[in-house]
Amino acid sequence: MSETHAQTVAYVRDTMLPEQPPPASQAGVVRWLRENLFSGPLNTVLTLAGVATIYWLVGHYYGWFARSVWNAGSLAECRQIIAATWGEGLSGACWAVIRDRWHQYLFGFYPPALYWRPVLVFVLLFVALAPVLFSAFPRRMLLFSAIYPVLAIWLLWGGSLWPEVMIVLGVVLGYLALRLLEPRLPGFAIFGAIGVALAFWAWGAGPLADALRALVPVSLTPAASDRFGGFLLAITLGVGGIVMSLPLGIMLALGRQSDMFLVKALSVCFIEFIRGVPLITLLFVASLLLNYFLPPGTQFDIILRVMILVTLFAAAYIAEVVRGGLAALPRGQYEAADSLGLDYWKAQRLIILPQALKISIPGIVSTFIGMFKDTTLVVFVGLFDPLKGISDFVRADFAWKGIYWEPYIFVGVIFFLLNFGMSRYSMYLENRLKRDHR
Amino acid sequence: MTEPQFARAIDRSHMTVSDEVAIQITNMNKWYGTFHVLRDINLTVNRGERIVIAGPSGSGKSTLIRCINRLEEHQAGQIIVDGTELTSDLKNIDKVRSEVGMVFQHFNLFPHLTILENCTLAPIWVRKVPKREAEETAMHFLEKVKIPEQAHKYPGQLSGGQQQRVAIARSLCMKPRIMLFDEPTSALDPEMIKEVLDTMIELAEEGMTMLCVTHEMGFAQAVANRVIFMDQGQIVEQNEPREFFNNPKSERTKLFLSQILGH
């Protein structure tokens, strides 16, 4: 404070001002409109242009939607009804095709008598997801989430229950091996556990399943993979891919950050290779090339092959997204974890990944959404995706020849709802985990 | 040199140095690439010692104490902490780390966990202490650093001084035999430095073995039994605090002291 200002600066307030409402032009709707729509010449022009565009779009397409026909046996009949109801020369939406063929969009060529099975799997999916996605559900429900994949496989493909039980048994044996080996070979027990599980699946599972099948035949009518189609196929591939690609992607991200040269090199090669190749190429690999590499006579399910390739594809992207999250963490977090004596895996699991994944949520969910939409590409390897596979099939019927917009809009709306749901969930999760800057 | 200003008299009854060796560093050298950061460090710390390490920035003082729990690797020489030599053996490293507490300049609390969870995490996962017992211990130390009422908040909701006290409590929950402090007050507002120093003084009064990199010379005079001055990766001078401040021997030390105490 300089000397000259000493006189003017001295000041003591003797009365406190009461609180007053803002002027009318600075509050409520008027203020909002002015700030957001008409804040300046450019904004005003853009607002008017936007309104004009919306008006034009709605005016153009509203009629088409308004003239919707839901009951008709063919496209020709639809057109007759539109002409009879609203007059000649007008176009309208023929939703009758959806009414007629919705089951194929949802289930493909799955036997209609067995529709209850995919429906049950879909409903149970929410039960299995609830405890994973929302912490309010009891933790014990996670047990169901753990066996859900195997249950879903059995319900969807049918056949004997025992091969699926063998999958679970292998995992349980691996876990027991882990518990037994951990005190003796810390750090290496995990390899022993994986070895035990693989050995069981390779040599023990087949004969045991056959024996049990002979003893206790529990089985459902089989439904082959070529009967899958539509959203049943898209959701099966999508959910399978999401569930498997997240852990794989995390492992790849950690591998890429590893101090071990070989682990790092392999992770980098894998990620860069997969990201450098179009998904279609990988799908062709899944449908054609894999068969050359496998022993002759191996029946390796096409959906499983595609799912594995889709998983690998998504995992490479997830790995990069997670790496971004890991890189965003300050070094101090690693050092604090180290200085408390936490080993690598504990530090990752308890300190590093919870924070890195939180940062990566938007990217991870974007990758999932992209992957889910990419499942429509399986049409190129002869599977019936909802968008093109089923639509082409429906249009091949003489009754619906020439129909374009309605099936695409229908499929688009369902995709939108599912993806929008994922997007909203990711925002919810981000909000719930927002802790550091409160 | 005037006596440092602390609110209360410091109780020296438990500040006894035993003959038992806590840390033994012999001919230790460290390089960052080709840059020779630490040169021929020889240092023996007895149990109960309170050592303050001072020196200009870049002198290697932080690197030195970070070598003691292997946050930094040394390339030559020997470091033995509590009878365990630090080599690339991960088991030994984890053993040393769980015995040596560390407090950082930037606190490094885990922002996604509550204060209580920050304090119980390592005891539960490293020491395998039951959760309830770990929480009791944590509350005990949070009371000791005078913030038990913050136990269920997140680190982001606390002031810098409070966060640093939590960081100290978090280390203490592992019941360490040695505490390392890496410029614990350098990132704090002047008003908050005192509350952290008070906590550290209390710790010293209980006889904790402490190595502290700090510029708080008042703290050094009040609590330390030895001050080490480092420059260019070497220990230039060490002495008991009164001698060190009143009668520095080397020119480099005199220059340093005149710069930090001169104004």
Closest-CA distance, B127 to chain A, in angstroms, reads 9
- Which residues lie below 8 Å from residue A172, measured CB to CB, with a gap of 6+? none
pLDDT of residue A1: 47
Asked if residue A252 has pLDDT above 90, the reply is yes
Average pLDDT, chain B: 90
pLDDT tens digits, residue range A161-187? 888 888 888 889 988 888 888 777 766
- Which residues lie below 8 Å from residue B228, measured CB to CB, with a gap of 6+? B43, B51, B52, B53, B54, B235, B237, B238
Chain B positions touching A335 (Cβ under 8 A) are: 71, 102, 104, 108
Supply A364's token pair.
Answer: 């991870």
Chain A residue with the nearest C-alpha to that of B69: A339
Average pLDDT rounded to a whole number, residues B235-244:
91
Is the Cβ pair A340, B71 closer than 8 Å? no
pLDDT tens digits, residue range A268-277? 999 999 999 9
Closest-CA distance, B101 to chain A, in angstroms, reads 7
Residues written for chain B: 263
Chain A residue with the nearest C-alpha to that of B124: A342
The DSSP bridge pattern shows strands B84-85 and B35-46 to be: unpaired
Interface test with B, best of A340, A359, A434 (most B CBs within 10 A): A340
On whether any CB of chain A is under 8 Å from the CB of B111, the answer is yes
Inter-chain Cβ pairs, chain A and chain B, closer than 8 A: 74
Chain A positions touching B107 (Cβ under 8 A) are: 332
Helix, strand counts (H, E) of chain B: 9, 10
Residue A36 pLDDT class (50, 70, 90 cuts): confident
pLDDT tens digits, residue range A63-114? 888 888 888 888 888 888 888 888 888 888 889 888 888 998 999 899 998 9
CA–CA dist B150, B167 (Å, integer): 13
pLDDT tens digits, residue range A281-335? 888 888 887 777 777 666 678 888 889 899 999 999 999 999 999 999 999 999 9
On whether any CB of chain A is under 8 Å from the CB of B128, the answer is no
Average pLDDT, chain A: 87
Amino acid (1-letter code) at residue A428: Y
Residues of chain A with CATH 1.10.3720.10: 101-110+226-438
ipTM, interface predicted TM-score of the complex: 0.90
> What is the DSSP secondary-structure string of A333-371?
HHHHHHHTT--HHHIIIIIIHHHHHHHHHHHHHHHHHHH
The topology (CATH level 3) of A101-110+226-438 is MetI-like fold (1.10.3720)
> Could you tell me which residue, B180 or B94, shows the higher pLDDT?
B180
| Among the listed residues B119, B129, B127, B126, the one whose alpha carbon sits nearest the alpha carbon of residue B171 | B119
pLDDT tens digits, residue range A358-384? 999 999 999 999 999 999 998 888 888
Closest-CA distance, B69 to chain A, in angstroms, reads 7
The minimal CB distance from B156 to the residues A338, A358, A437 is found for A437
CA–CA dist A148, A154 (Å, integer): 10
Burial degree of B232 (CB within 10 A; 0-12, 13-18, 19+): middle
Amino acid (1-letter code) at residue B75: Q
Supply B102's token pair.
Answer: 């560390």
Q: Taken in order A101, A104, A107, A110, is the CA torsion positive or negative?
A: positive
DSSP A25: G
Asked if residue B154 has pLDDT above 60, the reply is yes
